[in-house]
Each structure stands twice: as C-alpha cells, then as structure tokens.
C-alpha cells in the first residue's frame, strides 16, 4: 500500500505536459506504437512463434527481450505478455523502463494480459506491483501511456489515482488537456475499477472528440449504475451514430417510462443499428412490466416490423413477441411473418410466438406444419423430407424444436421425437436445452442417455445440461445415482485425454464439480497433469477454490501453467515463420460471397500470424464453404466459420492478442475462453471496446461493409483467397 501511494504521488508530481507527444522512433509507424510484425530473421521469428504457441517463455524467448535490436525486444516482450504467466511480471516491469517507447508500450500491454488469478496466494501483491509500475507511464509518450491506461483497467486496484487523473484532465484548459486518445483510454479503464463512480464521467460527455464521448457512453453502460441514466440520456442526441448506439445500449435497464418517451423518436433514427436497439429496449421493458403497450411506442414498433431492412424488421418482430399474448394485432403480425421468404424472419417470428404461448403458439405450429407438410403421422417419406429440410435450414429447425417442446400438442410431440432422432446436431442440442427449461426430469433422462452418444457435440451438450440442472436445483441426486453419474462423467473426461474434444471434456469437469466435488479433489494430481493446457488451467481454477488444496497447489507452482504440446519441432516453426513473414509483406485478401453480396477482408499476419496462416489453409481446403452465419446480433456481430463441421476439426489456436481497437468491420476470433479459438470468426457491425485486447483480432473489412450489415442468420458463405 505504501508503494502504491508513493507511485500515486509520483504521478501527481510529474509536470502535466512531460509526455503525451507521439514518438519519432522508427516504431512510430506501427499501429498503436507497438512492433507487431515478426522480425525478418527466420530463426528469431521461429523462436517467438514457438514460445507463443507452446505458451512457454523459455526456449530462447526471454533472451530475445535482451536483444540489442529494439524491434526484436519489443516483439519478444509482446510475446511474453501474450503468454501471460504471473512469473513474467518482474520482467515486464523491468521492460517498462526500456529506452525505446515501443518496448515500453509492449510491456504495458503485457501487464494487462497476465493471468494473475493463477497465483492466488500472491495475486494481490502481483497486481499492486503492476499498478505501481504502470501509473507513471500515463505521463510517457502517447503510445506507452495509452497501453498503460488500458492495462490499468484490466489489472484493477487503481481507483484513487485514476480518479485524480481524470478530475485534473477535465479541469484543465482545452489547450492543456491530454490527447483525446489517452483520455478515452483512461475512461475505458475507469469503469473496471471497484470504486468507480459514474460522476467522474460527467465533464467528458460534452468533449469535442467523438472517441471520448464514445468511451464515456461505453463506461457508463458497463457500470450498471442507475445513476448513469441521466448522463446517458443526453448522448442519445449525439451527432455521432456510434455514440448514440452505445448510449442506447447503456439505457436498456432504465425504467419503461423513459423508453416509452424516448424510443419512438429513436425508431426514426437515420442509423439502422439505433433503430434496432430502440426496439430491443421497448421489448425488454414490455416483458418486465407486462404492460399492454397501448402507446405511441407500440405503433412505432408495429410499423418497423414491416421495414424493408431485415435487421430492423427482425428486432421489431422480437419486441412484438413481448406483447403478442396481450395484443391481438401483434400476434397477427407475427403469424404473417411466418410466411415470409427470409429464414431469419421466420425464426424470430416463431420464437416470439413461442414467448406469447397459448392460442398464438398453437396457430403458429399449425401454419408451420402445413408449410413443411408435416402430417399427423410421421411416415418414412416425411422423415426423409424433414431430414433434408433440417440440413438446409438448421436454424429454423432449432426454432421449430424449441416450439414443439413448448406446445404439449401430441402431433408436435411426435415430430419432436423424430427430430431428436434424425435432426442435425444443432437441432438436437437446441431441443435438449429447451426441454431443460420445461421438463427437467425428461431432460435429465435424455441427457444421461446422450452421455453415451457417438456424437461428441451431443455428449458435450448433455454434460452441460446436467450441470445446469444440478446448479439451479431442478434435479436432486443422492446416493448410488450420484456416484454412478460421477463415474460416467469422469470416464467421459479421462477417456478423451489426448483428443481434440476440449469442450466435451471441460463440460464433464464442470458437471463433475457439481455432482461429486470430492472426486475431483481426490484426483487433483491427474487433473493437474492434464496434457491440454486450457483444461489444466480450468481445473486449477476449480481446485483453487478449495482451501484444503491451497498448499498442494502452491507446491506445484508454475510448472502446471507452462506449455502446450503442439506436435511441432523447431523446423516446423521455421516453416511457419517463413510463411508468416511472407503474409506480413503482402496481406492476403479474402472474398466472402453470400446471397447479400460480397465482402472483402484483409487478413493481418503481423497482428496474428498463426491465426492468419490457419485461416488461409482452411479457406484453401474449402472448410468454410456452404457454412452459415449462425449468429447475427444486429449492431454487434455477424459470426460464422465452420458450424457445419465438428467444432474440433480445425486445430486449436493460441490467443494472439493485440492492442488494437475493435471498430466497425473488425474480424475477430471466437473463443470459449483464452486459447480456445479454432475456426469460428466474427465481424463487428459497430465499435466494441470491451472486445479490444480480449479477443484476437486478425483482419478488417476493406470492402462491402454495407453487405455485411445485411447478413442474416442462416446465410451461407463461400470463401476464397484473392490472387495476390
């Protein structure tokens, strides 16, 4: 604490304009002031790639942080930060004093990537040391200061000094203010602090730079504090559409009276993303208040449900689902939408009618059965026709299964049984999850049966559902039944050692933790000897919650944290390095062809070399062709990438984090936790500050953003590399 106070005092004593200028060093041309590209020397690049891929800072990587070449030092320090071991904190702090700003910036970023919680006994001390080292860097050259500000948000424990910094920045004369990039970065870190008051944001709501106002709106949104609502409301009139959108997202929990007063105007906003969010806001309020929605706002939403823009139409239809049980005109509009040509519209309409329930849902299922020619008996011919339809329309099939599970109609039950037998994996999983909300004993029985399925995704879903049912108390398990299930879950985990089915095995561990935690503790040595590092760390976090294991875990030390067995030797990494250097020099262009048009991406091997190499290989192999955008959230992301393939059929990727902002059109790697990426990717439809530095970013849209904004759930893609 004394050292932290001294660091704060040092920060306050530094002259206000001692830094903040842009560096004129060679690395100033690199994005964010960091050296991101691999060195051109093949051996050096191979050492860096191997260290990052194995998650091992040994193997020569630490030696590179002492190189006489500043660009090599900077890139090696970035690699150490990506690996994220708590033992790297002293070295990263030391590199914060390097003579070159690009090295200091990399070290600051790295301190924000350290997995501090992997060393519970000294986590607080490590964080305090990092904060103490980072605070003075807010007065460093601008690239360093920005990275230090971002890292302080992740590390935490800096409420008091950041409050002082922001207060002084707001009080200064305009010509003496810190650069807007730095102010936005500090504001982006403020909401993460434990003692963050929303009042600190007030002076920044009217700053000239839109980036600062966007950071304010995002911070207020993330704070979750009702006191943020009065500050967010004026930002709904901001001239920048992305500020308006972020402010609107922050008001989603505000009282319904505010939504009814404000949202109708926003439904006429010139930006479709704002219109969607306004409809979402109204729908959420109608659900919670159970009001009849006999207002101007309802009329505006009903009008938008006929909008030619599909995202707006879908958002409005979803909002109507909140009142369809009370407003006949809403139910009628949803029933009409079931006959539209767009699968995404039909899916949202069916889900909305399922929410309404009752006679509306019965009528929806009757119309759907007629459209799909589903009779009162499930004949072999009808089964074959249904199977073919589900393969072509898995998203609609999942919605249909959810609705069938809810109606209780005998015909629907017959077809539901058929879909559980012959539907694609995604449909069967959706059915099980819906059953878990309606019929816990039935879902429990089905999930236990699926634990022995040949399909690994079904087994993974079964383990997840079992864990959920136990967690929420829907099922009670005692005695022999508990012991038998624990044994099956352990075998599911242990028999998969060495396989790529990480999600299945992680689900088994989570379920076992709820069924018989004592079994996990007794077999801690096997869990900590797990060859897959992501599972090893997952087990470490679960086991670390037990005081009895604290001493054993401390004795194990960092040996359990280091290393993936990648199956590659140094020659393999030299080959990868040569390819990465080639792709850095001439970034590949990828064309995504859809029914909406064509989108062109530029992949950046300098940001994420291993990710870029894997994606180019998968594209060349046709891996993504005819796969759907399975998740499209209006104003957020369009996500796809091999959903039709088994999720483990693409090799796993290490998270190649970069200090680059997620803006509109950023291409990121989808994760289920750090180092779990494979083939699924997403493209943003608006700035997403909370993703920056947390999800690997490996490309940008360079052409076709408007096409991307029209992508709907279920749209198929075809990817090809454009000729260089």
- The span from the CA of 591 to the CA of 604, in Å, is 15
Report pLDDT for 475: 83
Question: 710 or 18: whose pLDDT is higher?
Answer: 710
Tell me the pLDDT tens digit for each residue of 513-544.
Answer: 888 888 888 888 888 888 888 888 888 888 87
Cα torsion angle, 176, 178, 180, 186, sign = negative
Using DSSP's 3-state secondary structure scheme, residue 688 falls into coil
**Is pLDDT of 454 > 80?**
no
Share of the chain above pLDDT 70, in %: 92
**Whole-angstrom distance, CA of residue 707 vs CA of residue 685:** 11
**653-666 pLDDT, tens per residue?**
999 999 899 999 99
pLDDT above 60 (res 274): yes
CB neighbour list of residue 631: distance below 8 Å, 6 or more residues apart? 637, 638, 639, 640, 682, 713
Assigned token pair, 310: 């599909």
Q: How far apart are CA 722 and CA 581, in angstroms?
A: 18
pLDDT at site 382: 84
pLDDT at residue 690, rounded to an integer: 92
Q: Which pLDDT does position 432 carry in this prediction?
A: 86
Q: What's the confidence (pLDDT) of residue 406? A: 84
- pLDDT, tens digit, 9 for 90 and up, residues 84-100: 999 999 999 999 999 99
Domain 17-157 has CATH 2.60.120.10: no
Cα–Cα dist 647/641, whole Å:
10
User: Pick from 317, 407, 323: which is nearest to 367 by CA?
Assistant: 407
pLDDT score for 24: 37
More confident residue, 183 or 650: 183
Q: Which residue has the higher pLDDT, 408 or 568?
A: 568
**pLDDT tier, 20 (very low <50, low <70, confident <90, very high otherwise):** very low
493 sits in which H/E element = helix 479-494
Which pLDDT band, with edges at 50, 70 and 90, does 552 fall under? low
Q: Which tokens hold the place of 479? A: 């005695």
CA atoms within 13 A on the CB side of 535: 27
Please return the burial class of 370, using the count of CB atoms within 10 Å of its CB with bins 0-12, 13-18 and 19+.
exposed
Residues in Cβ contact with 106 at an 8 Å cutoff, skipping those fewer than 6 apart: 34, 35, 74, 75, 77, 78, 81, 95, 147
Q: What is the pLDDT of residue 197?
A: 94
pLDDT given for residue 43 in this prediction: 97
**In the beta sheet, which residues pair with residue 598?**
593
pLDDT computed for residue 539 by the predictor: 86
Tell me whether strands 697-703 and 597-603 are parallel, antiparallel or unpaired.
antiparallel
Measured at the alpha carbon of residue 148, what is the angle toward residues 144 and 151, in degrees to the nearest 5?
140
For residue 32, what pLDDT is reported? 54
Q: Is residue 345's pLDDT more than 60?
A: yes
pLDDT of residue 504: 80
Which position has the higher pLDDT, 165 or 649?
165
Q: What's the predicted TM-score (pTM) here?
A: 0.91
pLDDT digits (tens, 9 = 90+) for 241-262: 999 999 999 999 998 888 998 9
Instruction: Quickly state the pLDDT bin for 127 (edges 50, 70, 90).
Output: very high
pLDDT of residue 531: 83
Q: What CATH superfamily classification does 570-721 receive?
A: Cyclophilin-like (2.40.100.10)
Assess contact for 302 and 334: CB atoms under 8 A. Answer: no
Q: Percent of the chain, pLDDT > 90?
A: 58
Residue 12 pLDDT grade (very low, low, confident, very high; cuts 50, 70, 90): very low
Residues of the chain with CATH 2.40.100.10: 570-721
Q: Is the pLDDT of residue 625 over 60?
A: yes
| Reduced 3-state DSSP string for 244-299 | HHHHHHHCCCCCHHHHHHHHHHHCCCCCHHHHHHHHHHHHHHHHHHCCCCCCHHHH
pLDDT confidence band for 304 (50 / 70 / 90): very high
Q: Which residues, at least 6 apart from 396, have a Cβ–Cβ distance to it below 8 Å?
A: 343, 346, 347, 350, 714
Q: Where in the chain is the domain with CATH 1.25.10.10?
A: 17-157
pLDDT band at 555 (very low <50, low <70, confident <90, very high): low
Between 548 and 55, the higher pLDDT residue: 55
Average pLDDT of the residues of the chain: 88
The structural architecture, per CATH, of the domain 158-254 is Alpha Horseshoe (1.25)
> Which one-letter DSSP state was computed for residue 648?
T
Whether the pLDDT of residue 19 is over 50: the answer is no
pLDDT tens, 355-379? 898 999 999 999 998 998 888 888 8
pLDDT for 524: 85
The pLDDT of residue 546 is above 80 = no
- Looking at residue 84, the DSSP 8-state letter turns out to be -
Q: Which two tokens stand for residue 345?
A: 């519209």
């Amino acid at each position: 604490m004394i050292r932290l106070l001294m660091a704060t005092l040092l920060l306050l004593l530094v002259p206000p304009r001692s830094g903040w200028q842009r560096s004129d060093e060679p690395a100033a041309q690199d994005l964010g002031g960091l050296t991101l590209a691999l060195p051109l020397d093949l051996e050096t690049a191979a050492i860096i790639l191997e260290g990052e891929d194995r998650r091992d800072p040994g193997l020569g990587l630490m030696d590179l942080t002492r190189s006489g070449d500043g660009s090599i030092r900077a890139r090696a320090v970035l690699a150490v930060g990506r690996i994220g071991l708590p033992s790297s904190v002293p070295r990263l702090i030391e590199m914060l004093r390097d003579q070159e700003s690009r090295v200091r910036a990399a070290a600051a970023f790295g301190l924000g990537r350290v997995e501090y919680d992997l060393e519970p006994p000294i986590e607080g001390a490590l964080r305090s040391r990092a904060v103490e080292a980072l605070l003075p860097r807010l007065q460093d050259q601008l690239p360093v200061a920005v990275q230090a500000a971002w890292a302080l948000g992740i590390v935490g424990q800096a409420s008091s000094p950041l409050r002082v910094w922001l207060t002084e920045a707001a009080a200064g004369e305009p010509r003496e203010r810190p650069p807007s990039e730095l102010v936005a970065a500090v504001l982006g870190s403020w909401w993460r602090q434990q003692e963050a008051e929303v009042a600190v944001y007030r002076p920044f709501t009217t700053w000239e730079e839109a980036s600062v106002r966007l950071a304010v709106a995002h911070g207020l949104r993330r704070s979750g504090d009702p006191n943020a609502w009065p500050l967010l409301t004026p930002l709904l009139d901001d001239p920048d559409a992305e500020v308006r959108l972020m402010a609107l997202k922050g008001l989603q929990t505000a009282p319904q009276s505010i939504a009814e007063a404000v949202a109708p105007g926003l439904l006429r906003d010139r930006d479709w993303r704002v219109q969607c969010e306004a409809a979402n806001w109204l729908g959420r309020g109608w659900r919670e208040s159970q009001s009849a929605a006999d207002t101007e706002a309802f009329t505006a939403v009903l009008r938008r449900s006929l909008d030619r823009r599909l995202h707006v139409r879908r958002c409005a239809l979803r909002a109507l689902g909140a009142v369809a049980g009370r407003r006949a005109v809403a139910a009628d509009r949803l029933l009409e939408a079931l006959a539209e040509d767009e699968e995404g519209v039909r899916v949202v309409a069916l889900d909305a009618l399922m929410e309404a329930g009752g006679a509306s849902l019965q009528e929806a299922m009757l119309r759907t059965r007629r459209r799909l020619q589903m009779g009162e008996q499930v004949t072999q011919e009808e089964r074959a026709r249904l199977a073919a339809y589900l393969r072509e329309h898995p998203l609609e099939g999942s919605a249909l299964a959810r609705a069938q599970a809810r109606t209780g109609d005998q015909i629907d039950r017959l077809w539901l049984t058929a879909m559980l037998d012959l539907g694609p994996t995604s449909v069967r999983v959706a059915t099980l999850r819906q059953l878990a909300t309606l019929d816990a004993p039935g879902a429990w029985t089905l999930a236990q049966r699926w634990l022995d399925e040949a399909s690994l995704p079904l087994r993974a879903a079964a383990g997840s559902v079992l864990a959920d049912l136990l967690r929420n108390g829907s099922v009670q398990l005692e005695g022999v039944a508990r012991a038998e299930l624990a044994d099956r879950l352990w075998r599911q985990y242990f028999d998969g050692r060495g396989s790529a089915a990480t999600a299945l095995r992680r689900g088994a561990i989570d379920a076992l933790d709820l069924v018989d935690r004592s079994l996990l503790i007794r077999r801690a040595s096997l869990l900590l000897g797990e060859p897959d590092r992501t599972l090893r760390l997952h087990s470490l976090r679960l086991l670390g919650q037990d005081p009895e294991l604290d001493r054993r875990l401390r004795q194990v030390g960092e040996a359990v944290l280091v290393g993936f067995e990648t199956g590659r030797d140094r020659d393999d990494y030299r080959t990868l390095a040569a390819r990465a250097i080639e792709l850095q020099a001439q970034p590949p262009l990828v064309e995504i062809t859809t029914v909406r048009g064509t989108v062109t991406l530029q992949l950046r091997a300098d940001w994420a070399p291993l990710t870029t190499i894997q994606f180019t290989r998968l594209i060349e192999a046709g891996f993504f062709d005819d796969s759907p955008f399975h998740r499209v959230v209006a104003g957020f992301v369009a996500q796809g990438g091999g959903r039709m393939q088994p999720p483990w059929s693409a090799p796993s990727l290490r998270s190649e984090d970069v200090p680059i902002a997620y803006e509109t059109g950023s291409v990121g790697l989808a994760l289920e936790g750090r180092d779990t990426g494979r083939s699924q990717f997403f493209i943003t439809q608006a700035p997403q500050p909370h993703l920056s530095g947390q999800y690997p970013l490996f490309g940008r849209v360079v052409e076709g953003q408007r096409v991307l904004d029209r992508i709907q759930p279920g749209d198929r893609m075809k990817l090809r590399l454009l000729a260089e």
